[in-house]
Structure 1
C-alpha cells in the first residue's frame, strides 16, 4: 500500500562542506580503499564534470554534487516520505522536475505571468486549457508553479484513468503528484490545502486538429467547480499559449488508435514519417498566465448542489481562459520567437 518514511534528521548527513552526504568519499579525502568507495568517488567526479558542462561555477557545481549525493543517500536509507496518493516529493524535486527544466527553460522558453494569483498557502484549483497532442502543457505548468512560486509549491494534477493504466507512465505520474481526475480525490486534496491542477477539456483538447487550435472544447459537466465549491477554495484560470504548435495534429489514424486502445493516433508534420525523431516537440514560444482567482466562499458549500450555479461558474471560467488566449496570441507575435 502506501509507504511512509520519516524525514527526521537532516538528509545531508555530517560534515560542514558540500561533501557531507558521504564523508571521506567526495574525492577530497584519503584515497578510497574499497570497491564501493571507488565507485562513489567516480560518481562524484562524473557529477562534477556534468555540472561543469552545464556552465555552473565551482561553488554551484559542488552544491549540485552535494545535493545529488544527499538524495541518493536518502533513497538508499529509505529516508523519504510518500503520501497516501503515491506522491514522492523528494523524487519529484531531484529527478522529475530537473528532467523537465531543459524543456521549460531552453526549448519552450516559458514565460510565466500572474504567479502572484496563486495563494502562498492553502488550497486552490488551477483550471487550464489543454492542447498539444502530447500533454506537455500540464508538465510545464507543474514546473512553472514549483519554480516561479515564492514558496515553490507543488501542483497536484488530476489525470485521466488511461494515464494510470499505462505501464511506467502511471507509476511516474503517481510519484510526481498526479491522481485520478475524480471529485473525491480532488476534494480531498483541496481540503488538505494543496494546489490542484485540472485540464477539463481532456483528450478532446489535446487531440483536436491543428485547424481548431486555441478554440476551447467543452469543459464537461463542471465537476471541478463543484469540487472547489465543496472545499471552499478559489478557482484560478490558467491560459497556456504555445502548446498547440509543438505537435501540429494533421490527422488521426483511427484504426491504429483502436488497436492500441488510445483516444487517437496522431499524424503530424514529423510523425510517424521521421520515426522516433518525430516525437521531438517543435520549439514554440510559450506563455503561461494565471488569472485573477474566482472566489467561491460567497456561494457556500451548498452551492455545489446547485446545477445552474455550477454551470454558470464553469462557463465563466471557460470564457475567461478563452478571452485570455486570444489576448496572449496577439502579444506573442511569432510562434517560435
Structure 2
C-alpha cells in the first residue's frame, strides 16, 4: 500500500471509529475489551479484516455460497421446515423468495420506508394499501418492506385475488409466501391468529387503471376488510405507496384480447407488447412506502361489522387517509425516477 493510500486509509478508519461505531455498553461483571487508540493499530485491525486479494475474496464468497446451498438442500431433503395451514413455507420465503426480491427493491426501485413503527410487534393488524402498476409488484415490495424493516421481521400475509392462485407456478409460490384468498373467512382466521394481513381494496380497478388516472384511488369494494378488522378487534394501518404507478405506464387496453385470454385487461405500455419479453422490464421509478398511524377498532362492537353505514364510514376514513398521504408524498417528490 502506497504512503498516500495509507494516509487516506488512516483517515477512513479514524472517521469510521469516531462516527460509525456506537459505544458498547458492557453488562455488569463482563470485562471490557482494551480500546484501540492508535491510528496505526486501527489500520492494522482494518487490514486484518479485509481480504488479502481478489482471489481470496472470490474463494470466500464461493465457500459461503456452497455452505449456504448445502444447508438449504439438507433442510429441504430432510423436511426440516414447517408449512402452516395456509401454505406458508417460511424457510423458502426467507431463503429464496425474499432474497430474489431484495435487489429489485434496493437497487432498482430504491424503496424508502417510513412509519414502520406503526405496525405492532405482536398481535394481529390489517394493512390497507393503494394498488397500482399494471403488474402487482407493489404487493411483493410491501411484503419485503414489512419483513426487512420491522424489528420483529414480521411476515405480511397478503389477501389476493383468485386469479393469482389459479395461475400456474405463481399460485404455488404465492401460497408458499404466505398469501391467501381475499375472502372474509381467511382474513378473519389470519387476524385472530395474530398475523399481519395486507389488502388492496381497489383490486383490478387499481392496478389496471390508465396512466392518466395515476394516484387517484378507485372505489374500495364493499368494505369487507373493515368488517374483518372490527370482528377481530385489530387495528387498521393505512399504507401509501408512491412509485408503483410509473413502472408500467398503461397507455391502452386491448379488451378483445383480454377477454380471449380470460384476464382482466391486456395492457399496452411504452415497451409492451412492442418489445416482447423486454417490455416486461419495469421502469426504475423511485418508491416511497409510508405506513400511517393505526386506526383503532377497539371502540366498535362485533355487531357493528354488520352495519353497512358504520363500515362505510370507516372505509371512507381509511381511503381518505391513504389518498391524502399519496398527495403529500407526491408534492415532496421532485422526479418520478430520482425522487
> How far apart in 1 are the matches of 2:204 and 2:291?
22
> How far apart in 1 are the matches of 2:301 and 2:67?
49
Offset of residue 58 of structure 1: 8.0
**Partner residue of 1:45?**
none
Matched, 1:323 2:316: no
Answer with 104-113 or 80-89: which moved more: 80-89
**Partner residue of 1:191?**
192
* Kept in 2: contact 1:68–1:94 (CA 8 A): no
> How far apart in 1 are the matches of 2:118 and 2:237?
7
> How far apart in 2 are the matches of 1:137 and 1:182?
20
**Partner residue of 1:257?**
258
**Partner residue of 2:77?**
76
Distance 1:324 1:146, change over 3 A: same
SS of 1:174's partner is helix
Offset of residue 300 of structure 1: 2.4
Offset of residue 68 of structure 1: 3.4
**Partner residue of 2:151?**
150
**Partner residue of 2:234?**
233
Within-5 A mapping of 1:258-297: 258-297=259-298
> How far apart in 2 are the matches of 1:228 and 1:59?
49
TM-score by length of 1: 0.82
Within-5 A mapping of 1:1-337: 65-337=66-338
SS of 1:158's partner is strand
TM-score by length of 2: 0.81
**Partner residue of 1:25?**
none
> How far apart in 2 are the matches of 1:156 and 1:287?
20
Distance 1:141 1:311, change over 3 A: same
Offset of residue 60 of structure 1: 7.5
Q: CA RMSD in A?
A: 1.7
Structure 2 unmatched ranges of 5 or more = 1-53
> How far apart in 1 are the matches of 2:314 and 2:61?
47
SS of 1:325's partner is helix
Offset of residue 67 of structure 1: 3.6
SS of 2:299's partner is helix
* Kept in 2: contact 1:123–1:191 (CA 8 A): yes
Offset of residue 330 of structure 1: 1.1
Q: Alpha-carbon deviations, 1:136-176, whole Å to 9, x = none?
A: 00100000000000011100000000111111111111111
Structure 1 unmatched ranges of 5 or more = 1-51
Q: Which has the larger radius of gyration?
A: 2
> How far apart in 1 are the matches of 2:245 and 2:172?
27
SS of 1:298's partner is coil
Q: Which aligned runs of 4 or more in structure 1 are off by greater than 6 angstroms?
A: 56-61
> How far apart in 1 are the matches of 2:130 and 2:61?
37
